[in-house]
């Protein structure tokens, strides 16, 4: 049995799909579905049970889970970088994660949790996932601080010698549709091109960086799921690891890749960045992936263009945007027909 918290969310539901692809369906999803459309991420996937996050936490605290998991992949968290409620983030992101980690350690259950590249702050300390660097980081927002607290606790307590933490960079891909304003720019750009024929990007407020020249490490969600699957098969691999492509690319590159996937000429408009974001904006991120690959991880991260091509053509621009247990792991093929998936307004 594998528990995936946040299993109906973005990375979590794609991980469930990956597990199904590998023949694993004894998966317990822990999440808070609410009244939104997040549940749709699970439709078509094979799971053993779905538990509310509060019920699951209560069972853990009472040591009354009712079953014996072999692993917990903890991806559930508030991922909003603009969340103002610090007490909520401490409760939901830090304390919840620590409780699960301590339970897993006490019961010798494999524990993998999501950290974030937001812990690197303005990047002045670099982007190495070295333990000494981790101790000195200063995030720019409370979300990043909630993740940093857990990382430093895991490091200081020695827990990182037995568990694995993953610092995800800018993740995009299928099943982010419910995330609203926190969805990726790839998702937003596709919608903008569909509706207006144009993409809007924030202006730069640094004289040394052109508008749209801000750079991030964009990583495809399927690659993230591949890394987690590898870690589940390698329980001896522990520590804190960056999960990114290892290559910074500009927002202009991203926008042009979406236009190219749609076979349209690029049309980019630069708009003012909200004042509230300007002092907390990361102008550059790039994962140092040496530690992950030195640990033996064989995942070859897709290029930005290849990942966007898959995402746009096989999901965003079709009438079947969701992954399901019967879909081929091959990006451009529908397993049931062995043909490219039908795009909107096109015959299969």
340 band by pLDDT with thresholds 50, 70 and 90:
very low
Mean pLDDT of 163-191: 97
**Number of Cβ atoms within 10 Å of the Cβ of 235:** 16
Q: What is the DSSP secondary-structure string of 37-77?
A: SGGGGTTT---SEEEEHHHHHHHHHTT--SS--SEEEE--S
- Give the model's pLDDT for residue 279: 81
Catalytic residues, which ones?
Answer: 143, 179
Q: What are phi and psi of 263, to 5 degrees?
A: 55, 50
Q: Note whether 250 and 283 are within 8 A (CB).
A: no
Distance (Å, whole) CA 59 – CA 342 = 44
H helix or E strand, kind and range, residue 314 = none
Of 78-82, 167-171, 259-263, 328-332, which range is least confident? Answer: 328-332
- pLDDT over 70 (residue 345): no
277 band by pLDDT with thresholds 50, 70 and 90:
confident
The percentage of residues in the chain with a pLDDT greater than 70, rounded to a whole number, is 93
Strand-pairing partners, residue 85, are: none
H helix or E strand, kind and range, residue 276 = helix 275-278
Q: Note whether 185 and 174 are within 8 A (CB).
A: no
Output 42 or 327, whichever has higher pLDDT. Answer: 42
Distance (Å, whole) CA 171 – CA 219 = 5
**How far from 202 is each of 107, 126, 149, 210, 270, CA to CA, in Å?**
47, 24, 30, 11, 5
- Give the model's pLDDT for residue 82: 84
Mean pLDDT of 175-195: 96
Neighbour-count burial for 315-328, b at 16+ CB within 10 Å, e otherwise: bbbbeebbbeeebe
Strand-pairing partners, residue 239, are: 164
341 band by pLDDT with thresholds 50, 70 and 90:
low
What digits encode the pLDDT tens for the residues 95-148? Answer: 999 999 999 999 999 999 999 999 999 999 999 999 999 999 999 999 999 999
Q: What is the DSSP secondary-structure string of 160-207?
A: GGTSEEEEE-EEE-TT-GGGGGGS-HHHHHHHHHHHHS-EEEEPP-ST
Where in the chain is CATH 3.90.25.10? 173-218+247-285+303-348
**Number of Cβ atoms within 10 Å of the Cβ of 295:** 16
Eight-state DSSP code of residue 334: B
173-218+247-285+303-348 belongs to which homologous superfamily?
A: UDP-galactose 4-epimerase, domain 1 (3.90.25.10)
What digits encode the pLDDT tens for the residues 103-118? Answer: 999 999 999 999 999 9
272 band by pLDDT with thresholds 50, 70 and 90:
very high
Where in the chain is CATH 3.40.50.720? 2-172+219-246+286-302
Distance (Å, whole) CA 47 – CA 27 = 5
Task: Look up the CATH architecture of domain 2-172+219-246+286-302.
Answer: 3-Layer(aba) Sandwich (3.40)
Q: Note whether 294 and 225 are within 8 A (CB).
A: no
């Amino acid at each position: 049995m594998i528990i995936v918290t946040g299993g109906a969310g973005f990375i979590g539901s794609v991980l469930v799909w990956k597990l199904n692809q590998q023949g694993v369906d004894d998966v317990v999803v822990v999440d808070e579905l609410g009244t939104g459309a997040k549940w749709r991420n699970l439709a078509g996937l094979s799971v053993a049970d779905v538990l509310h996050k509060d019920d699951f936490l209560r069972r853990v605290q009472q040591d009354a889970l009712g079953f014996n998991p072999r692993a917990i992949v903890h991806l559930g968290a508030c991922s909003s970088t603009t969340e103002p409620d610090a007490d909520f983030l401490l409760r939901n992101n830090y304390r919840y994660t620590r409780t699960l980690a301590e339970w897993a350690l006490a019961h010798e259950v494999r524990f993998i949790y999501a950290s974030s590249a937001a812990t690197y702050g303005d990047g002045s300390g670099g982007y190495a996932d070295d333990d000494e660097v981790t101790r000195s980081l200063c995030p720019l927002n409370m979300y990043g601080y909630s993740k940093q607290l857990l990382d430093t606790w895991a490091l200081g307590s020695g827990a990182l010698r037995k568990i694995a933490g993953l610092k995800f960079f800018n993740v995009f891909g299928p099943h982010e549709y419910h995330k609203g304003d926190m969805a990726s720019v790839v998702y937003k750009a596709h919608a903008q091109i569909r509706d207006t024929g144009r993409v809007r990007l924030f202006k730069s407020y640094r004289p040394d960086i052109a508008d749209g020249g801000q750079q991030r490490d964009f990583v495809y969600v399927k690659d993230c799921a591949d890394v987690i699957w590898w870690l589940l098969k390698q329980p001896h691999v522990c520590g804190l690891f960056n999960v990114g492509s290892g290559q910074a690319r500009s927002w202009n590159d991203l926008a042009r890749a979406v236009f190219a996937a749609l076979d349209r000429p690029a049309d980019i408009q630069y708009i003012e960045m909200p004042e509230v974001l300007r002092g907390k904006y990361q102008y550059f991120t790039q994962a140092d992936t040496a530690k992950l690959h030195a640990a033996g991880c064989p995942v070859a991260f897709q290029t930005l263009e290849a990942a966007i091509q898959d995402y746009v053509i096989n999901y965003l621009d079709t009438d079947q945007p969701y992954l399901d247990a019967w879909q081929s792991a091959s990006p451009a093929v529908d397993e049931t027909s062995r043909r490219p998936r039908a795009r909107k307004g096109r015959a299969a």
